[in-house]
Amino acid sequence: FDDRDGWIWMDGEMVQWREANVHILTHALHYATSVFEGQRAYSGQIFELEAHTNRLFKSADIIGMDIPYSREVINQACKDNLIKNGLVDAYQRPVVWRGSEQMGINTKLTKVHVAIASWEWPSYFAPEAKLKGLRLCMSNYRRPNPETAPILAKSAANYPISCLSKEAAELKGYDDALLLDWEGYVGEATGANIFFIKGSEIHTPSLKCVLDGITRRTVMGLAQKRGLTVVERNIKPEEMADFEQAFLTGTAAEVTPLSHVAGYDFVVGQEVQNLMNDYEALVRDV
Ligand code: PMP
């Protein structure tokens, strides 16, 4: 992915894609001292840019990093990077990391760096799979307690469990995996939040150790507009038997119906389809 044309905003400058490199002794590469965002532009507008930038700053704060630019500078850099690359519909990845200024675990002598890359990335899950509903298996990993890991930050520190779970799921022929939380309640998928529908109620795990997804928040609003009652709570895995429909939300995944989660089957019903359409209409209508 590194050998291609394009421009990456790096520490205040637009750098050629191939030249946007870091040293092998980068602190973040060894100790996962980095945080990132994933945001999408639709028709030339970055959807919920301020919310993504705010979460980037919150994630950095959780792992004790001071971003050396203002939110306004980051927002402008995101917009400029999109334009510089001539993109209209795109995925964008801001990343903040500790550099190679020193190698000890102590972070004080490292500098905090920022980069923003943008590229075309149409659909995270295959469109056919999305229409039929994805199949999730149960991961062997659980989302840790926030006292065990900086789990509420969108930090590289938390993604090995996602990468391992995704890899294992695909090897078994599934599309993705569900991770429970450390207490055994339903958590989230490897890179998306999860929802369940029963009648006019829509249930989703509360935010005790899952990412505060920006698509999650948006879809909760859309569901309320449709007259659905949104319930955030602890959901036991066996309660999945009580629900008729299920879906994932995420910037990359958007609204993606599920047909199977760890032994339980779901239909791709009218409510999920309405929310998919509502989300699509909202992001295009900025
Ligand atoms: N959970 C995890 C672990 C994720 O990586 C993501 C993707 N950022 C999400 C949930 C969904 O968050 P958002 O809707 O803000 O993209």
- The total of other beta-carbon atoms located within 10 Å of residue 200's CB is 11
Ligand 1 atom 7 nearest Cα: 191
Q: What is the pLDDT of residues 69-113, one digit of tens each?
A: 999 999 999 999 999 999 999 999 999 999 999 999 988 899 999
Task: Check pocket membership of 192 for ligand 1, CB cut-off 6 A.
Answer: yes
Concerning whether 84 is annotated as a catalytic residue, the answer is: no
CATH for 127-284?
A: 3.20.10.10
Task: Check pocket membership of 191 for ligand 1, CB cut-off 6 A.
Answer: yes
> Against a cut of 0.80, is the pTM above it?
yes
For the chain, domain boundaries: 7-119, 127-284
Split at pLDDT 50, 70, 90, the class of 122 is: confident
Ligand 1 atom 2 nearest Cα: 191
Task: Check pocket membership of 193 for ligand 1, CB cut-off 6 A.
Answer: yes
CA distance linking residue 78 with residue 93, whole number of Å:
9
Task: Check pocket membership of 188 for ligand 1, CB cut-off 6 A.
Answer: yes
What is the number of the ligand 1 atom nearest to the C-alpha of 39? Answer: 16
Cα of 38 to ligand 1 centre, how many Å?
A: 8
Task: Check pocket membership of 250 for ligand 1, CB cut-off 6 A.
Answer: yes
Cα of 180 to ligand 1 centre, how many Å?
A: 15
Q: CA-based Rg of the chain, rounded to a whole angstrom?
A: 19
DSSP string, 119-188: E----SS-HHHHHH-EEEEEEEEEEPPTTTS-TTS-BGGGHHHHHHHHHHHHHTT-SEEEEEETTSSEEE
Q: Residue 91, SS3?
A: strand
Split at pLDDT 50, 70, 90, the class of 153 is: very high
What is the number of the ligand 1 atom nearest to the C-alpha of 193? Answer: 10
Cα of 104 to ligand 1 centre, how many Å?
A: 31
- The pLDDT assigned to 238 comes to 98
- The pLDDT assigned to 127 comes to 79
What CA–CA distances, in Å, run from 203 to 137, 242, 246?
20, 11, 9
CA distance linking residue 12 with residue 246, whole number of Å:
42
Whether 286 has a pLDDT exceeding 60, the answer reads no
Class of domain 7-119: alpha beta
ipTM of the complex: 0.99
Cα of 87 to ligand 1 centre, how many Å?
A: 22
Q: What is the pLDDT of residues 2-35, one digit of tens each?
A: 999 999 999 999 999 999 999 999 999 999 999 9
Split at pLDDT 50, 70, 90, the class of 284 is: confident
Whether 208 has a pLDDT exceeding 70, the answer reads yes
Residues facing 196 on adjacent strands: 203, 246
CA distance linking residue 172 with residue 87, whole number of Å:
36
- The total of other beta-carbon atoms located within 10 Å of residue 29's CB is 16
Instruction: Please state, rounded to an integer, the average pLDDT across all residues of the chain.
Output: 96
Q: Are 193 and 250 within 8 A, CB to CB?
A: yes
Catalytically annotated residue among 84, 130, 132, 154: 154
- Average pLDDT on 201-219 reads 97
By most ligand atoms within 8 Å of CB, the mutation choice from 210, 251, 282 for ligand 1 is 251
- The pLDDT assigned to 147 comes to 95
Q: What percent of the chain has pLDDT over 70?
A: 100
